[in-house]
Amino acid sequence: MLEERTKPFKLVKYFTFTSLILIFLGILILAGLNNHWARMMQLKKSEDYAKLLVANLNHQVYMKFYLPLSITRHRVIRLSEEKYYKRMDMIVRSTLHSFNVEKVNIYAKNNTIIYSYDQKLIGVNNAGGKGYLSALSGASTSKLIQRGNFFQLLFGFPKNAKLITFAPLRTEEPLPTLTRQVFGVFEIVQDISEDFKTIFRFQILAIITITLIMGALFLALFFVVKRGEAIIENRARERLRLKEQLTRAQHLSSLGEMVAGVSHEIRNPLGIIRSSAALLKKKMNHFDPSSTIPDIILEESDRLNNIITDFLNFAKPKMPNLAPCRVEEVLDRNITFLASQIEKQGYIIKKHYDNNLPKIMADSAMLYQAFLNILINSMQAMPGGGEIHIQLASRDDLTTITFEDEGESIPEDVMEKIWEPFFTTKEKGTGLGLGIVKNIVETHNGSIRIDNKPTHGACVIIELPVHH
């Protein structure tokens, strides 16, 4: 029943946690897509950057190298000659010295490298590939080359990432636009590995931040849900307990009405039987003094009367008449009452009372009955005699009374039913003794529990408030 009451909240809890996890996974996916988009934007930015560099370099090379030399010289300009190479190298490097360019190659129209940062490449044929052919036709193209292991390439932080751009080398003013022509090809190589790694580091930082925020949110939600679950379970448990108490009270009320009627009908003839037995005993003393029949009738009448009294005490517990009383005095009266039985059957009562025990507001007669039932149960658990320890202590506005015996431990199956009415393991008994004790303790706003001792024997612990 408790599980059914908390089931809707558990569904909400699972839905909340599942939603949180799905949101977190969605954020991770979005972070991955964002990383991809950022890389594409960086690549586009690098391509545009390369086109601007090429346009600037084209202008500088044409205006400072080809145009002046073509006007003053009437022979073929060969970059393999040191003076021309140095002039070209000075123009290229001065133009690109502050830009992130790793390598520059200039191709002639026959796909031969005529200038390079690396002089060893000068004179190499057919090194341009498709990029060279596209640039020769007037179109600029870029190609990304990435190197690294599988995970580096998968997550977007390659060990090396180079953007290779091919662009045409054109004639410029003062020539008319229509007469301008491509007379070479630029190849510019940019190392953009650090740009990609920076994007990746930023994404990792974002994911870590998101993870920490989601983790903190998850923990906060977890504690809130656990707190809410505990509150709901406690409320459900309390409702269940109150419902059980109401059902039990209704049952006892019905039982009380039935017992009251039945006991009234039984006690009248029982009183007649008992008085008749007493008269019979007087008459039998004159004729047959050895006869025990009247004694048996009287004894069984008393036993039946005690059973009826137990029924009435359990089914219709009376409200306590509260007054200041000392628990130790009530216990001493119990021990005095049982003194002859204790001495005869070999029981030893050991008392451990704290000093300066306060008076409590209670009905001393009802406490006397409760303690008496517990002591009798302890004695019945040790038919051959033994020690019974009684401890009395007071703290935090509570008085605690503990009874310990040396009998057999209570089996688990019996412990579960020990408070049920009419349940007993004794051959003779109504099974109402502990029920009466519990009723008395609860009418005093106290609590009672029974535990097994670590070795053997049982321990009954009663807690009573000092003030109601």
CB–CB of 344/383 below 8 Å?
A: no
- Does 180 reside within a domain? yes
- Domain membership flag for residue 58: yes
Q: How far apart are CA 447 and CA 460, in angstroms?
A: 11
Each residue's pLDDT tens digit, 4-17 = 455 555 666 666 77
Q: Say which residues have a Cβ less than 8 Å from residue 93's Cβ, sequence separation at least 6.
A: none
Q: What percent of the chain has pLDDT over 90?
A: 7
pLDDT tens, residue by residue, 419-456? 666 656 665 656 567 777 888 888 888 988 888 887 77
Question: Which CATH number characterizes residue 45's domain?
Answer: 3.30.450.20
The mean pLDDT of the chain is 79
- pLDDT band for 240, please (50, 70, 90 cuts): confident
Distance CA 189, CA 143 (A): 10
Average pLDDT of span 253-273? 68
Mean pLDDT value across residues 201-218: 81
Does the pLDDT of residue 68 top 70, yes or no? yes
The model's confidence at residue 26, banded by pLDDT at 50, 70 and 90, is: confident
Instruction: Give the range among 49-63, 176-190, 301-315, 323-337 with minimum mean pLDDT.
Output: 301-315
pLDDT at 282: 72
- Tell me phi and psi for residue 186, to 5 degrees: -95, 140
The predicted model gives 230-245 an average pLDDT of 82
Look at residue 169 and tell me if it is in a domain.
yes
Residue 121 has pLDDT above 80, yes or no: yes
The whole-number average pLDDT for the span 347-376 is: 89
The reply to whether 182 and 331 lie within a common domain is: no
- In this model, does residue 205 exceed pLDDT 80? yes
Note the pLDDT of residue 153: 74
Q: Is residue 94 part of a domain?
A: yes
pLDDT beyond 60 at 74: no
**pLDDT band at residue 263 using 50, 70 and 90 as cut-offs:** low
Please give the structure tokens belonging to residue 114: 């005529």
Task: Locate 63 and state its tokens.
Answer: 């205006």
290 assigned to some structural domain: no
CB-CB contact of 124 with 113 (8 Å): yes
Determine contact, residues 79/114, Cβ cutoff 8 Å: yes
Q: Is residue 326 domain-shared with residue 198, that is, in the same domain? A: no
Residue 189 CA to residue 170 CA, distance in Å, equals 19
Ramachandran region of residue 142, left (φ > 0), alpha (ψ -120 to 50) or beta? beta
Residue with tokens 């009672």: 448
Whether 281 is in a domain gets the answer no
Task: Name the domain boundary from 153, 169, 203.
Answer: 203
Indicate whether 324 and 178 sit together in one domain: no
Say whether pLDDT at 108 is over 50.
Answer: yes
Using 50, 70 and 90 to split pLDDT, how confident is the model at 331?
Answer: very high
CATH of the domain at 437: 3.30.565.10
For residue 57, the one-letter residue type is L
Burial of 86 (0-12, 13-18, 19+ CB in 10 A): exposed
Can you give the pLDDT at residue 178?
Answer: 46
- Where does the pLDDT of residue 314 fall: very low under 50, low under 70, confident under 90, or very high at 90 and above? low
Q: Is the pLDDT of residue 228 over 50?
A: yes
Domain boundary among 179, 203, 227: 203
Residue 417 lies in a domain: yes
Q: Higher-confidence residue: 426 or 364? A: 364
Spell out the SS3 assignment of the chain. Answer: CHHHHHHHHHHHHHHHHHHHHHHHHHHHHHHHHHHHHHHHHHHHHHHHHHHHHHHHHHHHHHHHHHHHHHHHCCCCCCCCCHHHHHHHHHHHHHHHCCCCCCEEEEECCCCEEEEECCHHHCCCECCCHHHHHHHHCCCCEEEEEEECCHHHHHCCCCCEEEEEEEEEEECCCCCCHHHCCEEEEEEEEEECHHHHHHHHHHHHHHHHHHHHHHHHHHHHHHHHHHHHHHHHHHHHHHHHHHHHHHHHHHHHHHHHHHHHHHHHHHHHHHHHHHHHHHHHHHHHHHHCCCCCHHHHHHHHHHHHHHHHHHHHHHHCCCCCCCEEECHHHHHHHHHHHCHHHHHHHCEEEEEEECCCCCCEEECHHHHHHHHHHHHHHHHHCCCCCEEEEEEEEEECCEEEEEEECCCCCCCHHHHHHCCCCCCCCCCCCCCCHHHHHHHHHHHCCCEEEEEECCCCCEEEEEEEECCC
The pLDDT value given to residue 10: 63
Q: Is residue 210 assigned to a domain?
A: no
Question: How many independent structural domains does the chain possess?
Answer: 2
Which of the four pLDDT bands, split at 50, 70 and 90, describes residue 179?
very low
Q: What is the pLDDT of residue 98?
A: 76
**Residue 365 lies in domain:** 317-465
Domain termination residue (choose one: 157, 184, 203): 203
Distance CA(328)–CA(330), nearest Å, equals 5
Same domain, 199 and 321: no
**Nearest by Cα to 107 from 30, 43, 165, 47:** 165
Q: What is the dihedral of CA 219, 220, 225, 228, to 10 degrees?
A: 140
With a cut of 90, say whether residue 207 has pLDDT above it.
no
Whether the CB-CB separation of 1 and 198 falls below 8 Å is answered with no
CB distance 427 to 407 below 8 Å = no
